[in-house]
Amino acid sequence: MTLYLAAQDPTLADFGKDPWWLVLGKIVFAFAFGLLATLLGVWFERRVVGFMAVRPGPNQVGPFGLLQTLADGLKMAFKEDILPRAADKVVYFFAPTISVICAVTALSVVPFGPKVSIFGHWTPLQVTDVPVAVLVLLACSSMGIYGIVLGGWASGSTYPLLGGLRSSAQMISYEVAMGLSIVAVFMTAGTMSTSGIVAAQGDATRFTLFGTEIPAPGWYAILLLPSFIIFFIATVGETNRAPFDLPEAESELVAGFMTEYSSLKFALFMLSEYVSMVTMSAVTTTLFLGGWRAPWPITLWSGANSGWWPMLWFFGKVLILVFVFVWLRGTLPRLRYDQFMRFGWKVLLPINLVWILVLSGLRSIEDWQTRDRLLVTAIGAGVLLLAALFWPSRKKEPKPTPQEQANSRPHGSFPLPPMDLQVPPSPRTKRVVAEREPANVAAGSDSREV
C-alpha cells in the first residue's frame, strides 16, 4: 500500500532494464494508442464540428457512429489504386509511410505515467527515454516533412510539386518557432529528458500575494506562458491543421501534394495527419501541462499521481488539446499563404527571441524570491502579448488611379490601351460588317413582302 501511495517518478537509470516481452508490450501499446486515437479522433472531429454546425454528424454505423471511421478506412483501402504514368514508383510508394512512421515514432519517448508494477516488474509507463529525448521529438517532426515533399515530387505532376514545396516552406518555418519555444523549457527544467521535464513540473510553487500564501502548479504552461502559446500555434502549423491547412487547400492547389494519391496511400497521408495531431497534443502535455501529473484539486488526494491513475489524467489533457485542434477548424477561416508566412517569421519568431532573452535575464538573478520571478514573468508575458496584439501597423499609401498611373509614365513609353478597356474594332471587322448589311436588309424586305 505504501508503494501505491508514494509517487514513483522514473529516471534515466530506470530504462534499459526491462525484459524483452515488456519492451515489446510497451511498443505495441504506443502503436495501438496512435492508431486507436486516430480512429476515435476522426469520429470526434466529425461529431464536434457537426455539433458546432447544428447537424448530427456520423450516428448510423455502430453505437453513436463509432464504427463510421473504420468503415471509411476499409472503403479507402479497397478502392482502385491509381499510379500516375510519370511517377517515381518507389518514392511514390514509400512517401506516405515515412510520414506515418515518423509520427508514431515520436510516441516512443512520451511518458504515459509513472513507475508501475507489471507482473512483478517495476517499470515506467514509457517506451524509452534518453538525455536528449526532446531532440528526438524534433527530429521525428522534421523527418515527417520528407514524406510530404517526396510525395509531391514523386507524383510527376505540377500541382503536387507546388504543394510539396509550399508545404516544406511552411513546416520548416514553424519548426523554427517550435524549437525556440522548447529552449525556454530546457532552461527552466535543466534537462532534455521528457521524464525529467515532467518531474520538474511536479513541485508546486508557492508565492505570496497581498499577504496570502497561494500554491501554484509548476506547469510550464503558466510559468512560460508565451512559450506555451507560441509552441501550440507552431504545432497547428506543423500538423497542417486549419487554419493553417494550406498544403492541402482544395480551393488553391487541388488537394496539394496528395492530388495524385488514392486508395490506401491517400489513407496513410490522412492517418499521418491525425497521428501527428495526437502526438503533438501528447508532446504539449508533456512539456507544458505537467505530463501525467494530476491537475489541482485532484492533487489533494495522496494517490492521484501513483499507480495507473496518472494515465487517466494524461489522456484527459490530450483529449482537451485535440478538442482545441477541432475547435480551431470549426471556427477559423483559412489564412492566405503570405499572411501565414508573415505571421511565422515576423510575429512568432521575434516574440520568441525577446522572451528567451528576458527569461535568460531572470534565470541569471539567483537571489530573487519565487514570487518576484513569477511577478516579473507575468508582467513580461503580458507586455509581449500586448505588443503583439496592438503593434501599430504601417499605413498604406493610397493607390493611384489608372489615369494617374498613365500620366506618370515617361515620354516615349509604349502606348497604353484605353482606360475604359474598349478596344476599337479592326478594319477587317468593319469591312465584314459592311458586306453583310446589304444581305440582311434584302432578307428583311423579302420577309415583309411575304
pLDDT of residue 449: 45
Distance between CA atoms of residues 288 and 274, nearest Å: 21
Cell of 341: 508566412
Q: How confident is the model at residue 248 (pLDDT cuts 50, 70, 90)?
A: low
Distance between CA atoms of residues 143 and 330, nearest Å: 29
pLDDT of residue 450: 41
Mean pLDDT of 309-320: 93
Q: How confident is the model at residue 432 (pLDDT cuts 50, 70, 90)?
A: low
Choose the weakest-confidence range: 18-32, 50-64, 119-133, 395-409: 395-409
pLDDT at residue 357 greater than cutoff 70: yes
pLDDT of residue 231: 93
pLDDT at residue 388 greater than cutoff 50: yes
Q: How confident is the model at residue 203 (pLDDT cuts 50, 70, 90)?
A: low
At 65, is the secondary structure helix, strand, or coil? helix
Q: Are 192 and 287 in contact, with CB atoms under 8 Å apart?
A: no
Using CA of residue 180, residue 181, residue 186, residue 192, what is the dihedral sign? negative
pLDDT at residue 177 greater than cutoff 70: yes
Q: Residue 385 belongs to what H/E stretch?
A: helix 370-389
Choose the weakest-confidence range: 107-116, 198-207, 353-362, 426-435: 426-435
Cell 528526438 appears where? 136
Cell of 271: 492517418
pLDDT of residue 318: 94
Mean pLDDT of 353-358: 86
Mean pLDDT of 325-334: 89
Distance between CA atoms of residues 153 and 88, nearest Å: 9
pLDDT at residue 63 greater than cutoff 70: yes
Mean pLDDT of 384-388: 67
DSSP 320: H
Closest to 166 measured CA to CA, from 244, 92, 84, 279: 244
pLDDT of residue 4: 38
Q: How confident is the model at residue 257 (pLDDT cuts 50, 70, 90)?
A: confident
pLDDT of residue 369: 58
Choose the weakest-confidence range: 31-35, 269-273, 285-289, 422-426: 422-426
Q: How far is CA 98 from CA 141, 151, 174, 272, 367, in A?
A: 11, 10, 20, 9, 49
Mean pLDDT of 97-110: 90
CA atoms within 13 A on the CB side of 253: 25
Rg, the chain, Cα only: 30
pLDDT of residue 440: 54
pLDDT of residue 244: 84
114 CB contacts (<8 Å, ≥6 apart)? 7, 8, 9, 10, 124, 125, 292, 305, 306, 310
pLDDT at residue 358 greater than cutoff 70: yes
Cell 515530387 appears where? 153
pLDDT at residue 83 greater than cutoff 60: yes
Phi, psi of 213 (to 5 degrees): -80, 120
Cell of 149: 515533399
pTM assigned to the model: 0.79
Mean pLDDT of 238-261: 75
Query: Of all residues in the chain, what percent carry a pLDDT higher than 70?
Result: 77
Mean pLDDT of 109-132: 90
pLDDT of residue 49: 92
pLDDT at residue 214 greater than cutoff 60: no
Phi, psi of 29 (to 5 degrees): -65, -45
Q: Annotate 331-373 with DSSP letters as a single string.
A: HPPPPPHHHHHHHIIIIIHHHHHHHHHHHHHHHH-TTS-HHHH
* Mean pLDDT of all residues belonging to the chain: 81
